[in-house]
Amino acid sequence: MKNKNKTSVGSLFLNAPYFIWAALFIIIPLAVVLFYAFTDGNGQFTLSNITTLRDYWRPILRSLWYSVAATAICLLIAYPFSYVVCRMRPASQKIANMFVTLPMWINLLIKTYCLSSLMDGNGLINQALVAIGFGRLPLMNNTGAVIFGMVYNYLPYMILPIYNVMSKIEPSLLEAASDLGCSSVSRVRRVILPLTGPGIVSGIIMVFVPSVSTFYISAKMGGTGDFMIGDLIEGQIHSQNNNLPVAAALSAVLMAIILVSMLILNRFSKNEEGGSVLI
């Protein structure tokens, strides 16, 4: 009993910095956002901020589908990539990993800026295409460019968790699968996929969450009809009317979307593993 008390006091003490941090920078700001979302300029409760969002249903849906697309593309690239890397020799694996993490050292704005100058109508890629007589391609200012920019920026966050889980699968499990009659395709389906489930789930979260709240990429690389929730929020804050309540309401919607999608994923991974990897 005495011992237990001691440890709980000790752990409380050790946890204190995190609790203070969380309260200051997570809980209180969240409360402020919710407060703004449900009050008018005079601090009176109102639902009008939420109801005005009816006008914004297009960018909200657009954000959802862009981020689902970007997440799916990241998964389709990252999974086979991780599979191939896991089969390399340890030295080559290290190099491959370095190339995955290297872009993470560079700031997102700079990467996006560079990407857009590469893909611009007069960018390097188009100049090269013209030079070989292929002609200009409309690489920028369209939906494809936005999704490409998101994939380009968030791909490492899909690869790392999947690679991490996959590289820890014991080789003897794969041998056992072959031994029991699995061809390499059915081995992936029956053993590797189920065992990498937790990695896939965290990869999806790591890519989907920043994707759905993306703002700079869509503004820089998209066309006029490609702005997303993130851009809307930015616009509400920066516009002359300084419409914080509507920005807060949009943020609340964004959080709700993320929360719901996490709950769905959580349920999925619970079924797989009997335990939850999120939240």
Partner 1 sequence: MTNRNIVELKNVTLSFDGEKILDSLDLSVRDGEFVTFLGRSGCGKTTTLRIIAGFLKPDEGDVFFDGERINDVPPYKRSVNTIFQRYALFPHLNVYENVAFGLRVSKTPKEKIDPMVKEMLKLVNLEGYEKRKVTNLSGGQQQRVAIARALINRPKVLLLDEPLSALDAKLRKDMQVELRRIQRETGITFIFVTHDQEEALSMSDTVIVMENGKIQQIGTPVDIYNEPKNAFVADFIGESNIIDGIMNRDDTVTFAGHTFTCVDEGFEKNEPVDVVIRPEDVDVVSPETGMVKGVITQATFKGDYYELIVDVKGFKWMVQTTDAYCEDQVIGIALDPDAIHVMHKSEFSGLYGDYSTFSDDFDEDPEAEDEE
State the residues that interact with partner 1 by CB under 8 A: 170, 172-173, 175-183, 186, 190-191, 194-195, 197, 272-274
Choice between 177 and 232, CB closer to partner 1: 177
Question: How many CB atoms are located within 10 Å of the residue 66 CB?
Answer: 23
The nearer residue to partner 1, 15 or 183, going by C-beta atoms, is 183
What is the smallest separation between the CB atom of 165 and partner 1, expressed in angstroms?
12
The nearer residue to partner 1, 191 or 205, going by C-beta atoms, is 191
State in angstroms the smallest separation of the CB of 166 from partner 1: 14
Considering beta carbons, is residue 234 or 273 the nearer one to partner 1?
273
DSSP 250-269: HHHHHHHHHHHHHHHHHHHH
Q: If you write DSSP's letter for every residue of 81-132 in order, what string do you get? A: HHHHHHTS-HHHHHHHHHHHHGGGGS-HHHHHHHHHHHHSTTSHHHHHHHHT
Of residues 182 and 237, the one with the C-beta less far from partner 1: 182
Least Cβ distance, residue 167 to partner 1 (angstroms): 16
Smallest distance from the beta carbon of 95 to partner 1, in angstroms?
22
Q: How far is CA 165 from CA 79, 199, 206, in A?
A: 11, 6, 15
- Structure token digits, residue 66: 């862009």
Cβ closest to partner 1, residue 120 vs residue 272: 272
C-alpha distances in angstroms, 117 versus 49, 122, 154, 243, 271? 38, 8, 19, 32, 45
CA–CA separation, 138 and 4 (whole Å): 66
User: How many CA atoms are closer than 13 Å to the CA of 248, on its beta-carbon side?
Assistant: 21
Q: How far is the CB of 279 from partner 1 (least distance, A)?
A: 22
CB of 25 to partner 1, least distance (A): 38
